[in-house]
């Protein structure tokens, strides 16, 4: 029990260190929030006109998709931050201290949730400005935001593992892009999978990102009876499907990342 408390205390110390960086280098936050704003405006006004959503309004359809994409991209900060810390010898410093072995990763992933919260707030305001509305209750909307953050938290453990594996932060940024880009586009984020060719549609339907987006749309009340989700279990039960993925990702990548941390060597 006290070991667990120590782990959280150490994690909080590391998280605080990461948050100080957000405060000291505000440019970083400015750029992480500018790109989602740009995405909202680009898709809302440029592509929005050519993507038909039965019975609904594209911008309203779009917002949950952009939220999901942005928080998943935000999770890569976890990996880039760790790769950077290895390169600068800071992980060596932590590893030579009598602290909890998982605290650096707990602290890192926790501070990146804070980062994602700030980004979601900025995007929500942008969304409201262009006509997006939450049409359900406050508890449901909060559940929607929590589900997005939870999924991103799980993804950030994948990124933590990758960040400790790659030789430099640049490699992580390029490599993670190859995964996050298809994952967030071959889904129901920006277009309806019903319009995709066969195998791509199957992938999109079972893609956990689609489930997160579908769940968020339902919890925000951005769905329309004219555009029902495809008749597959993953999208008929998007909250459950998302939670299964969150648990599975954490079960695999938390131990993997911690093991990799213990091996991580400076370069």
The site for other proteins (CB under 8 A) is made up of 6, 10, 13, 16-17, 20-21, 24-25, 88-90, 92-99, 167, 265-267
Q: How far apart are CA 3 and CA 102, in angstroms?
A: 11
Identity of the residue, 21 or 135, whose beta carbon is nearer to other proteins in the bound complex: 21
Identity of the residue, 86 or 158, whose beta carbon is nearer to other proteins in the bound complex: 86
Contact 253, 223 (CB under 8 A): no
Closest distance between other proteins and the C-beta of residue 21, in Å? 4
Q: How far apart are CA 61 and CA 192, in angstroms?
A: 10
Closest distance between other proteins and the C-beta of residue 115, in Å? 14
- Count the neighbouring beta carbons within 10 Å of the beta carbon of residue 239: 17
Identity of the residue, 27 or 231, whose beta carbon is nearer to other proteins in the bound complex: 27
Identity of the residue, 24 or 231, whose beta carbon is nearer to other proteins in the bound complex: 24
Closest distance between other proteins and the C-beta of residue 97, in Å? 5
Closest distance between other proteins and the C-beta of residue 11, in Å? 11
Q: How far apart are CA 211 and CA 233, in angstroms?
A: 10
Q: How many residues does the chain have?
A: 267
Identity of the residue, 199 or 263, whose beta carbon is nearer to other proteins in the bound complex: 263
Residue 87 CB partners (closer than 8 Å, separation 6+): 168, 169, 266, 267
Q: How far apart are CA 227 and CA 72, in angstroms?
A: 25
Closest distance between other proteins and the C-beta of residue 34, in Å? 21
């Amino acid at each position: 029990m006290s070991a667990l408390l120590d782990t959280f205390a150490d994690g909080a110390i590391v998280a605080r260190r990461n948050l100080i960086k957000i405060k000291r280098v505000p440019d970083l936050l400015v750029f992480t929030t500018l790109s989602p704003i740009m995405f909202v405006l680009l898709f809302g006004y440029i592509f929005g006109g050519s993507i038909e959503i039965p019975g609904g309004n594209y911008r309203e359809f779009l917002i949950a998709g952009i939220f999901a994409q942005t928080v998943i991209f935000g999770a890569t900060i976890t990996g880039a931050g760790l790769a950077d810390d290895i390169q600068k010898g800071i992980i060596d410093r932590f590893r030579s201290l009598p602290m909890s072995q998982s605290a650096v990763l707990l602290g890192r992933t926790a501070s990146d949730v804070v980062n994602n919260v700030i980004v979601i707030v900025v995007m929500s305001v942008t969304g409201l400005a262009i006509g997006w509305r939450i049409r359900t209750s406050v508890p449901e909307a909060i559940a929607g935001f929590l589900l997005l953050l939870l999924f991103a938290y799980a993804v950030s453990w994948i990124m933590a593992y990758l960040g400790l594996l790659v030789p430099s932060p640049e490699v992580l940024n390029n490599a993670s892009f190859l995964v996050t880009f298809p994952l967030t586009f071959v889904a129901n984020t920006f277009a309806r999978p019903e319009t995709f060719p066969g195998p791509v549609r199957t992938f999109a339907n079972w893609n956990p990102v689609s489930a997160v987006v579908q769940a968020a749309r339902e919890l925000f009340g951005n769905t329309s009876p004219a555009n029902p989700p495809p008749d597959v279990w993953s999208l008929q039960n998007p909250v459950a499907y998302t939670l299964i993925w969150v648990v599975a990702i954490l079960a695999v990548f938390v131990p993997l990342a911690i093991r990799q941390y213990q091996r991580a060597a400076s370069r």
